[in-house]
Chains A and B, each alone.
Chain A
Amino acid sequence: MKFTLVILGAPYSSAASFSAWRFCRAALENNQQITRLFFYADGVHNTTALAAPPQDEIDLPAQWSTLIREHNLDAVVCIAAALRRGVLDEAERDRYRKQAANLGAEFSLSGLGQLIEATAHSDRTITFGH
């Protein structure tokens, strides 16, 4: 069965991100397909490559990156939500003349249309709310 996951919570401010990560891992272990991960609203904070939490704490942005890389998942970040919160890829850094880009290599910035398309091509869509 094909799943789309919508992640609305930032790491550390709610349990949404960790719940979604656990669900994603369990779905893959049960041979389900993940059509797309869609990071929206505060969920975009999961996609920064610059998070540096203490070593004895779970590093959710890194855990997401690893899961996406290992399973070759499609991970889309809402561009409007990301720009507002200072999550930029290199193209947006140049466009807005900012000092740095911080979007993890495993993620891509795109629009809400990608969420609609993923939902249309999935059997189930599950939202992990803040």
Chain B
Amino acid sequence: MSTLHTVNKSPFQSQCLYNCTDLIAPGDSLVLIEDGVYALKLGGEERARLLNAIKQGTRVYALNADLQTRGLDSSWAEIKTIDDSEFVELCCKHQRIQSWY
């Protein structure tokens, strides 16, 4: 049983992302949506924390429409940009959906 997580808050504004990455399991996926995509601006220790989750076997995605709305592009090779259809597909692939907000 794997879980799809969504985070919709900026890590510069909320602990949501870290609450999620502290609990996320290998094989789970995380989709950054809405202000959650600001995670791509993380540097230093915070960036390492997210990269560590990826290294442990979590796949991380960012919703393209939300990146564009905020003038961001996916500059991390580790984070794949997806569209709304791919978001739906990921929800089908995982057995549960946990939203962090």
Contacting pair B34 A26 (CB below 8 A):
no
- Listed in ascending order, the chain A residues whose CB lies under 8 Å from chain B are 1, 3, 8, 14-16, 19, 22-23, 25-27, 29-30, 32, 123-130
Q: How far is the CB of A122 from chain B (nearest CB, A)?
A: 11
* CB proximity to A under 8 Å, residues B64-98: 65-66, 83-85, 87-89, 91-92, 96-97
Contact of B87 among A16, A26, A127, A130 (CB under 8 A): A26
Q: Are A27 and B88 in contact (CB under 8 A)?
A: yes
**Chain A residues within 8 Å of B83, by CB:** 26
Interface size class of chain B, counting residues whose CB lies under 8 Å from the partner chain = 20 to 34
- B residues with a Cβ closer than 8 A to A are 6, 8, 33-35, 65-66, 83-85, 87-89, 91-92, 96-97, 99-101
CB distance from B67 to the nearest CB of A (A): 13
Q: How far is the CB of A14 from chain B (nearest CB, A)?
A: 8
Distance, CA A124 to CA B66, complexed state (A)? 23
- Which residues of B have CB within 8 Å of A27? 88
* Cα A128 to Cα B84 with chains together (Å): 14
Contacts of A127 in B (CB 8 A): 97, 99, 101
A15 vs B101: C-alpha distance when bound (angstroms):
11
Q: Are B92 and A129 in contact (CB under 8 A)?
A: no
Task: Determine the distance from Cα of A3 to Cα of B91 in the docked complex, in whole angstroms.
Answer: 9
In the bound complex, residues from chain A placing their C-beta under 8 Å from that of B100 are: 129
